[in-house]
């Protein structure tokens, strides 16, 4: 199930080996290893503050790992964080079109349809409800054309119907050969492996050197 036509790097798997991540110089997780082949999803679980966001930011390339490697992530990741990066003064269509052109794409219609935003295209993003904003933020993933979705709590402020829309979008993405790495607490009804990060908590003794911020 591999569609090369839409530019997905099929066969490439995201491979994380012995990764140690930290926040502000203090190690949070250590020894994290997993691999995520195309067409599969991996759900990260763990209590608040257990390092899920830090791990996702590291995989997305926003942070440098303290140890270990992330393979197969270059130019393949579409990252979605707690904040959707929407501009309140721009309309729904303008927001999506901007991200599409940043990622070298042009067609925003499938993303609008998948997240039921067609009636809102001319609405300013600042006038959307929290759930509608979230849907727009997730629709952004579909206009990136990237094949690894890295999602941090994607279902926050979504209602049940919207969660179903999101689950359908992820399922479609996986069927096209893409993959998804997400931190979420609710069951999306997607066939996915689960990784509990609380088992990888870094020992406090492994304090990093203080010049970490300058490396």
Residues that bind another protein (CB under 8 A): 57, 60-64, 75, 77-90, 94, 97-99, 101-104, 140, 144, 213-214
Closest distance to another protein from the beta carbon of 92 (Å)? 14
What are the tokens at 73? Answer: 């992530």
Closest to another protein by CB, 77 or 117: 77
Closest to another protein by CB, 82 or 189: 82
- Distance separating alpha carbons of residues 129 and 107, to the nearest angstrom: 24
- Distance separating alpha carbons of residues 141 and 170, to the nearest angstrom: 10
- Asked whether the beta carbons of 136 and 142 are under 8 A apart, the reply is no
Closest to another protein by CB, 7 or 189: 7
Q: Which helix (H) or strand (E) holds 45?
A: strand 41-45
Closest to another protein by CB, 34 or 98: 98
What backbone phi and psi angles, to 5 degrees, belong to 91? -75, 170
Closest to another protein by CB, 160 or 213: 213
Closest distance to another protein from the beta carbon of 60 (Å)? 5
- The b/e string for 123-135 (b: 16+ C-beta within 10 A; e otherwise) is ebbeebeebbbbb
Closest distance to another protein from the beta carbon of 178 (Å)? 16
- Distance separating alpha carbons of residues 148 and 153, to the nearest angstrom: 16
Q: Are strands 148-152 and 179-183 parallel, antiparallel or unpaired?
A: parallel
Closest distance to another protein from the beta carbon of 160 (Å)? 25
Closest to another protein by CB, 41 or 125: 125
Closest distance to another protein from the beta carbon of 129 (Å)? 16
What are the tokens at 37? Answer: 């082949």
Q: Are strands 67-71 and 41-45 parallel, antiparallel or unpaired?
A: unpaired
What backbone phi and psi angles, to 5 degrees, belong to 78? -110, 120
Closest distance to another protein from the beta carbon of 77 (Å)? 6
């Amino acid at each position: 199930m591999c569609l090369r036509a839409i530019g997905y790097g099929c066969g490439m798997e995201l491979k994380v080996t012995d990764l140690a991540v930290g926040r502000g110089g203090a190690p949070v997780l250590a020894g994290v290893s997993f691999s995520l082949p195309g067409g599969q999803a991996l759900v990260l679980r763990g209590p608040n503050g257990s390092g899920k966001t830090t791990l996702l930011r590291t995989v997305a390339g926003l942070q440098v790992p303290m140890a270990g490697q992330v393979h197969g992530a270059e130019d393949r990741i579409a990252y979605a964080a707690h904040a959707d990066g929407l501009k309140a003064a721009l309309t729904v269509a303008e927001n999506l079109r901007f991200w599409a052109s940043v990622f070298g794409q042009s067609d925003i219609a499938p993303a609008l349809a998948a997240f039921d935003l067609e009636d809102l295209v001319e609405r300013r993003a600042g006038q959307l409800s929290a759930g509608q904003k979230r849907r727009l933020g997730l629709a952004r993933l579909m206009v990136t054309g990237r094949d690894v979705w890295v999602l941090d709590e994607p279902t926050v402020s979504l209602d049940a119907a919207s969660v179903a829309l999101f689950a359908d979008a992820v399922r479609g993405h996986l069927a096209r050969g893409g993959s998804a790495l997400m931190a979420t607490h609710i069951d999306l009804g997607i066939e996915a492996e689960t990784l509990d990060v609380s088992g990888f908590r870094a020992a406090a003794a492994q304090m990093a050197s203080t010049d970490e911020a300058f490396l």
